[in-house]
Amino acid sequence: MTNVIAQTPRPVMGLYDEPLWESIRNGNMKLQRSRDSGKYLYPPAPVCDETLSSNFDWVSISGKGEILSWIIFHRQYLEAYPAPHNVIAVRLEEGPVIISNLQGRQPEASWIGRKVRLVYTKMPDGFVLPRFELSD
């Protein structure tokens, strides 16, 4: 696995995304949490999918999570993602699932269930992306 940080495409900003990306830029990722249900939402949304309420707070997350699924691409499809390139699905301690990448050392055996922690990776153009590292 290469540790070279290639310039990856910037995410397309949705209507409700700015507070999320600002918190990531500041190294303190925040998600919407419904004041009515307590549910954390990712990606950001106009209403809670449980209560249909628009009463939210932006709350810092722990950054702790667990790998639910993973794949390694052994072929390069896009210039920004040199092979081998991993993609992981992480369930955050707060509940939402985020698709990202695992940086640093890789599991020697199964990836499923491995504990990870959020890290902030600065791209060559200065944009910051949330990534994960093993924590166990």
Q: Give residue 1's pLDDT.
A: 38
- Strand (E) or helix (H) holding 131: strand 128-134
What strands, in cross-sheet order, belong to the sheet with 56-60? 40-41, 30-34, 56-60
Q: What is the pLDDT of residues 45-102, one digit of tens each?
A: 999 999 999 999 999 999 999 999 999 999 998 887 888 989 999 999 999 999 999 9
pTM: 0.90
CA triplet 47, 49, 51: central angle to 5 degrees?
Answer: 80
Mean pLDDT of 106-124: 95
Most confident of 59-63, 101-105, 120-124: 59-63
CATH of the domain at 135: 2.40.50.840
Q: What percentage of the chain's residues is helix, strand, coil (to nearest 5)?
A: 5, 40, 55
Domain extent at residue 46: 12-61
Q: How many domains does the chain have?
A: 2
C-beta separation of 102 from 69 below 8 A: no
Q: What is the pLDDT of residues 1-17, one digit of tens each?
A: 344 466 778 888 899 99
